[in-house]
Amino acid sequence: MSQSIDSRSINAIRILSADAIQKANSGHPGLPLGAAPAAYTLWSKIMKHNPKNPKWENRDRFILSGGHGSMLLYSLLHLFGYGLTVEDLQNFRQLHSLTPGHPEYRHTAGVEATTGPLGAGMAMAVGMAMAERHLSSVFNKENYPVVDHYTYVLGGDGCMMEGISYEAFSLAGTLGLSKLIVLYDSNDISIEGGTNIAFRESVRDRFKSFGFQTLLVEDGNDPDAILAAITEAKANTTQPSMIEIKTKIGAGCPAKEGKASAHGEPLGVENVAALRENLGWEDTTPFAVPQDIYDHFASIAEKNKTDEDTWNELFAEYKKAYPEMAELWDQYHDEDSASKFLEDETFWNISDKADATRNISGKLINHMKQSIPNFFGGAADLAPSTKTYMSDLGDFSKETPEGSNLHFGVRELAMAAIGNGIWLHGGLRPFVSTFFVFSDYVKPMARLSALMQVPLTYVLTHDSIGVGEDGPTHEPIEQLAMFRALPNFYAFRPADATETAAAWYFAANSKLAPTALILSRQNLPQLSGSSKEALKGAYILEDSTKDIPDAIIIATGSEVQLAVEARKKLLEENVDVRVVSMPCMDLFRDQPDSYQEQILPSSVTKRVAVEALSTFGWERYVGLTGKVVGMTGFGASAPGDLLFPYFGITTDAVVAAVKDQL
């Protein structure tokens, strides 16, 4: 009996995936073979998407959270006409190919997020659904649903085991994100064997407790049942939905189906041949797909193009009916909206008295929100401490989706991923916040921010042993060195209001990199020499009167004032030093060599750095013979103003270090 075009199309996805993995001799065939019917059904019969314009604003979003199954996505992108060629599939996992081992955002058209760390895609999908919900509440008018799309995310048992998915979906259920639909590729297999060795809970019951609608498809090879389940999920307008689809890993390959060995290794030449025979795929030529199947996918893509055409007509009418909303739409999508702050003197003079940089940051956020209407952010249950609450903008919730203040709950890891997802969706400028020490929980998703070139802003407060009585569990030591080691990531530790303004200006104008603002709990004085030069990462705060300084003191944050005081004391002993404030080591490295030499001349080898954090990494700027006044162990529980002298981070210690150099 001849197969239907749908069955043959599903098998085309399977064959292309198996061939690419076999040619590369590397990859994960299990997920593409098992999940092909679900993915095909979603992409061909449900999703709004236009291959001719992968960035169409009102497209449905699809995230492959199980990024190891990337060939499933690449096969879909190829067959639907997103620009991936057969040659691209043949170069799977090869250097500079458009088909890397895991999907990479900005690298391959149609990839909505970089996935691979399991569960991360799940959480980013929650962020996208939050963005859609907020934007629809802001812009939609009666008869003009200009923001109206779904977020679909596909992942397996590994994604469900990772704690990040628990955090993210708990929040999604609380928020009632009804346009979030999770497709759970449930095959009961993990790398080490059956999932029952480590994972026996009812995932559907867990999702019910989150507040999700839960549905079950008993046979993952039944496209009609999958279609019915997704249709039912879409009909629920009050809850997000999770569809458990029971599949067999490596489906269709007789020797591998249902076995752990199908997960992460090529099937083998003989098994690929057996897969073809079992599926009734007659052509034995690798990567060969009959023309009528290509024509079928092209006809679906052409039909889908009309979805965008219809939306474009609707949006044109919307702009005429609501010109003020069209103007607001343009503001929301203006990547340069924060550039105006460079010449805004109020912005640069937000405070003229001693104040904590977290407080100054809070004032800056509330100043910027007046000109950046798409600010959308919050904290992991710490907004009163991190000063990230935007007054008069309301809370984003199930009942009030128009609010702009996000409450992530105590979910730092998911918070960062959700922030990525909000930015990836487009139209919003998100920020997230917690205590600096908890950046350890944030780090894996901050790494994805950097990798994806997503300019998410991280507001991280309580920046040093100045936290005080909370003790070593809450006093960051090594965290700044961790962020400085991260490529394409900018960590600012400002010393006063001017430098905090510089940090926010940089963050709000960043296009291709995330930024962390590392902010103090304790009050810091405003420094007479601070300036917009902080936008270069480091600058001369107070200079020597000599052509060649006797020494250079480099400091960040609260310790810049110690360096200033140390210079005064040294002058009394006829030692004339330069004080360099270095709020962002990462940004200073970006400056021309000539500027770096101007600030830190190589002829001056006598150098001291002071920072109430780990001394790791300062050798780059003080040299192997320089001195670093900082932390070499963990903190302690006591008032912050007692801890600095206890750990030897004082003006006198800086003076002694300079004199030791001389």
d(CA 366, CA 388): 9
Interaxial angle between packed helices 323-332 and 291-321, expressed in degrees from 0 to 180 and rounded to the nearest 10? 120
Please name the helix (run of DSSP H) or strand (run of DSSP E) that holds residue 540, with its range, or none: strand 539-542
d(CA 581, CA 310): 55
- Cα distances (angstroms) measured from residue 234 to each of 47, 142, 242, 268: 11, 20, 11, 40
Cβ contacts of 61 within 8 Å, gap of 6 or more:
112, 125, 128, 149, 150, 151, 152, 425
Where do we find the tokens 């936290």?
A: 467
Name the active-site residue from 104, 167, 308, 412: 412
d(CA 40, CA 652): 69
Contact 127, 421 (CB under 8 A): yes
Q: What one-letter code names the amino acid at 133?
A: R
Please name the helix (run of DSSP H) or strand (run of DSSP E) that holds residue 302, with its range, or none: helix 291-321
d(CA 460, CA 463): 7
Verify whether residue 412 is a known catalytic residue. Answer: yes
Compute φ and ψ for 216, nearest 5 degrees: -130, 130
Region for 344 from its dihedrals, namely left if φ exceeds 0, alpha if ψ lies in -120 to 50, beta otherwise: beta
d(CA 454, CA 459): 15
Q: What are 303's two structure tokens?
A: 């039909």
Residue 157's SS3 state is: helix
Q: What are 257's two structure tokens?
A: 């189906």
Q: What one-letter code names the amino acid at 458?
A: Y
Question: Beta strand pairing status for 193-194 and 189-190?
Answer: antiparallel
Question: Beta strand pairing status for 457-461 and 180-186?
Answer: unpaired
d(CA 165, CA 205): 15
Q: What are 241's two structure tokens?
A: 């939905």
Nearest to 517 by CA among 379, 341, 632: 379
- Cα distances (angstroms) measured from residue 617 to each of 191, 458, 614, 621: 38, 22, 8, 8
What is the number of residues in the chain? 662
Question: How is 391-427 classified by DSSP, letter by letter?
Answer: TTS-B--SS-TT--EEE--S-HHHHHHHHHHHHHHSS
Contact 529, 515 (CB under 8 A): no
Q: What is the 3-state secondary structure (H, E, C) of 236-275?
A: CCCCCEEEEEECCCCCCCCCCCCCHHHCCCCCCHHHHHHH
Q: For the chain, give me the number of helices (H) and strands (E)?
A: 25, 20
Interaxial angle between packed helices 412-425 and 120-139, expressed in degrees from 0 to 180 and rounded to the nearest 10? 50
Residues annotated as catalytic (active site), given as ranges = 412
